[in-house]
Chain A
Amino acid sequence: AQSVTQLGSHVSVSEGALVLLRCNYSSSVPPYLFWYVQYPNQGLQLLLKYTTGATLVKGINGFEAEFKKSETSFHLTKPSAHMSDAAEYFCAVSDHGYQKVTFGIGTKLQVIP
């Protein structure tokens, strides 16, 4: 079975500050890892994904995440928060069969002007 744990259900940062959203995964096989974003009243949008290869993955809107196998982590970062980044962020994992994506509980990001 696979799972992800997101540390911090709510994170607040000042506009222009570093964004760091934490995710740790558990998987018995090499995982595929994802970050999704959900803006209010909208569906889930893929920010970035790690499958194989380079462990630092760049996504849309200036976000990136680094796969660290030794720490079983896939934390999401952005150097400088923008007001438009306020949303809920979900870390997710799937196996290479890709039949099912398992989501974390989500982290609500608040950006303070």
Chain B
Amino acid sequence: EPEVTQTPSHQVTQMGQEVILRCVPISNHLYFYWYRQILGQKVEFLVSFYNNEISEKSEIFDDQFSVERPDGSNFTLKIRSTKLEDSAMYFCASRRVTNEKLFFGSGTQLSVL
């Protein structure tokens, strides 16, 4: 089965630093998503992206967050100035069309110190 690939699997950063989490969605997919899961809590929607623009975002996705699809294969999540509370597992997901299942990556564990 095709896979969504996320790198790195673990990222440690200092508070206030910028981080970029990278995802390579499945090649013929058109809809892209970021979710996060703080330890012990539920998986939360952050943002959806289609046709090179954000289609929906949650209240978590404030001005510190941005997404980009820079080259037609990568899909990145940038956190401009990390906070301690940004520590979480971040999942990228993609789908080909809206009525098909989401494929999730294995996640990037972000630790902000």
Contacts and interface: CB of A to CB of B under 8 A. Distances in A.
B106 A43 contact: yes
B99 interface: yes
Interface size class of B (residues with CB under 8 A): 20 to 34
A51 to B, nearest CB: 7
Contacts of B101: 34, 46, 49
Interface string A18-53: 000000000000000010100001111110010100
Given A99-B55, A99-B56, A103-B44, A44 B104 contact: yes
B91 A98 contact: no
Given A43-B91, A43-B107, A44-B91, A101 B102 contact: yes
A90 interface: yes
Contacts of B51: none
A102 B45 contact: yes
Interface in B56-76: 56, 58
B25 interface: no
B102 A103 contact: no
A43 B104 contact: yes
Nearest to A51: B99
A32 B95 CA distance: 15
A92 B42 CA distance: 10
B98 interface: yes
11 contacts: A34-B101, A42-B107, A43-B105, A44-B104, A45-B104, A99-B31, A99-B48, A101-B35, A102-B45, A105-B41, A105-B42
